[in-house]
Amino acid sequence: MTDGAGNPQIVTMRLELRNITKAYPAVIANDDVSLEVLPGEIHAVLGENGAGKSTLMKVIYGVTKADAGKILWNGKAVNIPNPAQARRLGIGMVFQHFSLFETLTVAENIALAVEEEFDLDALSTRIREVSERYGLPLDPRRLVHSLSVGERQRVEIVRCLLQEPQLLIMDEPTSVLTPQAVRKLFETLRRLADEDCSILYISHKLEEIRVLCHKATVMRGGKVTGEADPRQETVASLARMMIGRDLPVCEHPEFDGGGEPLLVIDGLSQKSDDPFGTDLKDIHLSVRSGEIFGIAGISGNGQKELLAALSGELPIDRANIAPITICGVAAGTLRADGRRDLGMAFVPEERLGRGAVPPMSLSDNALLTGHRTGMVRFGLIEDALARVFAERCVEDFDVRCAGVHATARSLSGGNLQKFIVGREILQNPRVLVVAQPTWGVDVGAAAAIRQALIDLRNAGVAIFVVSEELEELFEICDRIAVIADGRLSPVKRSSDTDMEEIGLWMSGMFPGGPAAEDVSHAV
């Protein structure tokens, strides 16, 4: 780098990692890792699930202490024993797994990271202003437990932006954001970089890396295996660097119209029990055997309520029984276990807490929903059968872990997702309801999960997918609809529409949609 006169200019690195090593009883998560980040640089860290990326970021942020190695911050060696010290240095982090208290409001959660004295009302005003300026709107008064996954992601991002960090670490920040929100976020990140903020960026979306990042460091098996300028690479070449082989391509046979309807919703209207939630308004849809039916939409438009109604998690309102039929049986009065008895399996959008119990082993987590496959006899648990089932799930879905005795929380986000999806698929359901099937999963594993869903569809299973990744929906779905403000759009074959039209519908601009009604009323 040179100054204005063309003379060499010495630039102090914002962050230097020298020979960082972190080992756990069954795995070396980081093995002699070195990394440099310049001021104003957007630096990607690439790797498969379990490559050590998240562990390295936690070392930088003070969540995890390295066993060996040195951290230099603006040219000086530092010790970062905890996140509070990291924030004082000017380091902010957006976690893949959210660190939020569900019983507190958005403003109260953000206040926990504010060390100086503050006024909650003034902080709420600032939250509203910053979130709107960055295209990530938030209501500071809302309780976190009422937020969708995408809205919780916004809280994490805004909490960091309020700190005005010198280094911003982002671990899968766009996993559940809409394309419009992603573009707005990228504008924000570029502006931060122009203002000399450094950004460490972890994402499995390689096209994002190409568009956004100045440099990429590739990790595999806990080690740094290469560096690249992603702007000079293709998605295919980045994938080869990351997973060591060509990117798999899903094989999706042409849709023949499907067989009998196995999941039917006939006029579901349901008031949300959350004052900040979204009421469902006259939902009609059917999913046939041998079909993947996709739901697109901006987070917080009724997806959470629709999934709760389908899974049986909503309290039963006998005065207004949900008109839901599963495999020909009226299921509106059934709770989750009764619906599973009919042949339905379910993958929730939240991995930790709903998809799996964090401190329990993978074997025990397999038992939670898989016990119908013979793991319980005469009321007694067959531990050996539970272990065999979990081992099959780990092997068939390439779950990187220390074995089936490992706890769910010890897995990386992507590996836990593979385990949960695999657990449900291996139960041979007739109906599978999946929310965000590849959230936080690397490109190779995402392709494997999508192909597994397609194979299940080819075997005659009815699959209902809710995803905020349009590319994913168009890759695997036979028919697509959009949910906006609790209303369902017309249903279209994937081959008869495109991402531009579906993206427009996501804003409510479909026949009978909320935005279309607003326009007609204005006229």
pLDDT on residue 184: 78
pLDDT on residue 204: 83
Domain edges within the chain: 15-243, 259-343+432-523, 350-428
Tell me which of 313-317, 388-392, 481-485 is least confident: 313-317
Structure tokens at 328: 């020909």
pLDDT on residue 519: 40
Q: pLDDT tens digit string along 408-446?
A: 998 887 889 999 999 999 999 999 999 999 887 878 888
Most confident of 143-157, 163-177, 342-356: 342-356
Burial of 488 (0-12, 13-18, 19+ CB in 10 A): buried
Angstrom CA distances, 337 to 42, 152, 268, 284, 495, stand at 47, 28, 21, 24, 36
pLDDT on residue 518: 54
Average pLDDT of span 25-46: 93
The rounded percent of the chain whose pLDDT value lies above 70 is: 93
Are the C-beta atoms of residues 261 and 242 closer than 8 Å to each other?
no
Nearest C-alpha neighbor of 43 from the set 191, 201, 228, 234: 201
Longest CA–CA separation in the chain, Å:
84
Per CATH, the number for 15-243 is 3.40.50.300
Average pLDDT of span 177-181: 67
Domains 15-243 and 259-343+432-523 share a fold: yes
Q: pLDDT tens digit string along 250-307?
A: 888 888 888 999 999 999 998 888 777 899 999 999 999 999 999 999 878 899 999 9
Pairing relationship of beta strands 15-24 and 27-37 according to DSSP bridges = antiparallel
Average pLDDT of span 390-406: 92
> For the whole model, what pTM was predicted?
0.75
pLDDT on residue 193: 93
Q: What is the mean pLDDT of the chain?
A: 88
Pairing relationship of beta strands 462-466 and 431-435 according to DSSP bridges = parallel
pLDDT on residue 168: 94
Tell me which of 94-98, 183-187, 295-299 is least confident: 94-98
DSSP SS3 for 12: coil
Most confident of 83-87, 135-139, 179-183, 499-503: 83-87
Bin 200: left if φ > 0, else alpha if -120 < ψ < 50, else beta. beta
Judged against a pLDDT cut of 60, whether residue 4 lies above it is answered with: no
520 pLDDT band, cuts 50/70/90, is very low
The rounded percent of the chain whose pLDDT value lies above 90 is: 57
DSSP state of 496: G
What CATH class is the domain 259-343+432-523?
alpha beta
Looking up tokens 């609790």 gives 486
Average pLDDT of span 92-100: 80
Average pLDDT of span 9-29: 89
Looking up tokens 């957006």 gives 94
pLDDT on residue 523: 35
pLDDT on residue 166: 95
Beta bridge partners of 23: 28
Q: pLDDT tens digit string along 442-467?
A: 788 888 899 999 999 999 999 999 99
Average pLDDT of span 115-119: 82
Average pLDDT of span 83-109: 88
Judged against a pLDDT cut of 60, whether residue 3 lies above it is answered with: no
CA 474/CA 353 separation, integer angstroms: 29
